């Protein structure tokens, strides 16, 4: 077997096998490694498809052999590629399952927060995320198709969009990918402390352990105020304060979030809660103005936020 093909196949096998037992903090690394593994697979398939190499690269077939040695080795590699393709497809399926679980988990947390805000009554017009009635249970675990790591949280991950290659390589001109693409797939970097704190905070929040969750989110903001978890952490800090009826602190938190992260997906919700906090503080005029400005500031806000803003404005007697 040519050294290039042998080392490439070995590196690709390591990349696939080591990527499967992934924890929650590794989901972006898993997606990245899956993408690179697919590119590596395409490169290796292109090499095989062209049957590259000058005559004499492979040893001559022994006398009496029914198939040349080089062809037999290529067949063996192609069989390995089919197995790797199946593993990639399984990883993509696992990621889709984890993505679905994460979305349902986050909807569950939001449902519980809204229920607490309404004094234990399920929010008007909101269905229980898991299809039940009343506050949904939070005992559902992530899909168990990935091997479990006893020392790591359950995995949460985004959906991979690239299809796994199969058959002839999807290289239009037969040109291989740049040298160095194969054999350079590295292990994922360990999750940062802010990501671990955020995930733990979400878990604590789902268990109604608000003081501990608040501490986690505040640590996320202190450690990495411009990081990817900061907007969500800032929102949850204010939301916990709102649920605990600390309306002044909540209003300050929502206002700071809107100033620091105006384009966050949570911004429309933060503006809604800012208006409600101001009304609860007795600042009705400012609260009503804030509620009315949501559709101007965020015209693409979801129907849930828009309809709730209208209901709350009517309830507060906004003109």
- CB 281 within 8 Å of CB 248: yes
The neighbour count for residue 265, using CB atoms within 10 Å, is 12
Residue that the structure tokens 């017009």 belong to: 125
* pLDDT recorded at residue 79: 72
- Positive or negative, the CA dihedral 26, 30, 32, 37 is positive
Contacts 24+ apart (CB under 8 A), 278-284: 278/247, 278/251, 279/312, 279/316, 280/245, 280/247, 281/247, 281/248, 281/251, 284/316, 284/317, 284/318
Report the alpha-carbon distance of residue 294 to residue 286 in Å, rounded.
13
- The share of the chain scoring above pLDDT 70, in percent, equals 44
- CB 139 within 8 Å of CB 130: no
The predicted model gives 160-172 an average pLDDT of 39
- Nearest Cα to Cα of residue 8 among 91, 84, 92: 84
Each residue of 29-83: pLDDT tens digit? 666 667 766 776 676 666 666 655 444 444 444 544 444 546 777 677 777 677 6
pLDDT tops 60 at residue 140: no
Q: How confident is the model at residue 194 (pLDDT cuts 50, 70, 90)?
A: confident
Q: What ranges in the chain are assigned the alpha helix state H?
A: 3-19, 27-50, 69-117, 193-206, 210-223, 230-243, 247-260, 267-280, 284-297, 303-316
Taking CA atoms, 308 is separated from 72, 106, 127, 268, 305, in Å, by: 67, 19, 14, 11, 5
**96 vs 213 pLDDT, higher one:** 213
- CB 316 within 8 Å of CB 293: no
* pLDDT recorded at residue 309: 93
DSSP string, 41-92: HHHHHHHHHHT-S-TTSSPPPPTT-SS-HHHHHHHHHHHHHHHHHHHHHHHH
* pLDDT recorded at residue 188: 39
The predicted model gives 251-270 an average pLDDT of 94
- CB 155 within 8 Å of CB 23: yes
- Nearest Cα to Cα of residue 232 among 262, 198, 197: 198
Each residue of 89-114: pLDDT tens digit? 767 766 776 666 666 666 666 666 66
The predicted model gives 296-315 an average pLDDT of 91
- The share of the chain scoring above pLDDT 90, in percent, equals 32
Is 111 in a helix, a strand, or coil? helix
Report the alpha-carbon distance of residue 190 to residue 245 in Å, rounded.
38
The predicted model gives 206-218 an average pLDDT of 91
Each residue of 215-258: pLDDT tens digit? 999 999 999 999 999 999 999 999 999 999 999 999 999 999 99
pLDDT tops 60 at residue 19: no
- CB 118 within 8 Å of CB 88: no
- Positive or negative, the CA dihedral 288, 290, 296, 302 is negative
- CB 129 within 8 Å of CB 136: yes
Best-predicted range by mean pLDDT among 31-40, 154-163, 199-208, 283-292? 283-292
For the record, the structure tokens of 269 come out as 């919700």
Q: What is the rounded average pLDDT for all residues in the chain?
A: 69
């Amino acid at each position: 077997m040519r050294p290039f093909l042998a080392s490439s196949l070995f590196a690709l096998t390591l990349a696939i096998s080591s990527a499967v037992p992934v924890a929650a903090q590794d989901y972006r690394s898993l997606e990245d490694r899956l993408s690179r593994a697919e590119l590596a697979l395409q490169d290796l398939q292109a090499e095989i498809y062209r049957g590259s190499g000058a005559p004499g690269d492979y040893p001559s077939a022994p006398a009496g052999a029914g198939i040349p040695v080089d062809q037999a080795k290529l067949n063996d590699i192609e069989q390995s590629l089919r197995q790797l393709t199946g593993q990639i497809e399984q990883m993509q399926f696992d990621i889709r399952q984890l993505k679905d679980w994460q979305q349902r988990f986050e909807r569950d947390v939001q449902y519980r927060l809204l229920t607490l805000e309404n004094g234990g009554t399920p929010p008007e017009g909101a269905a229980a995320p898991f299809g039940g009635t009343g506050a949904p249970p939070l005992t559902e675990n992530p899909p168990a198709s990935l091997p479990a790591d006893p020392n790591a949280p359950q995995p949460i991950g985004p959906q991979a969009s690239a299809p796994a290659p199969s058959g002839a390589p999807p290289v239009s001109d037969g040109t291989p990918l740049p040298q160095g693409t194969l054999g350079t797939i590295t292990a994922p970097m360990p999750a940062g402390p802010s990501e671990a704190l955020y995930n733990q905070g979400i878990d604590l929040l789902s268990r109604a352990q608000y003081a501990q969750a608040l501490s986690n989110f505040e640590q996320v903001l202190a450690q990495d105020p411009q990081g990817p978890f900061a907007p969500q952490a800032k929102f949850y800090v204010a939301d916990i304060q709102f649920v605990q009826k600390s309306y002044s602190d909540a209003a300050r938190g929502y206002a700071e979030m809107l100033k620091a992260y105006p384009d966050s997906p949570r911004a429309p919700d933060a503006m809604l809660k800012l208006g409600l906090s101001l009304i609860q503080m007795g600042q009705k005029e400012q609260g009503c103005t804030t509620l009315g400005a949501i559709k101007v500031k965020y015209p693409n806000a979801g129907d849930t936020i828009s309809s709730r803003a209208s209901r709350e404005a009517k309830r507060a007697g906004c003109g």
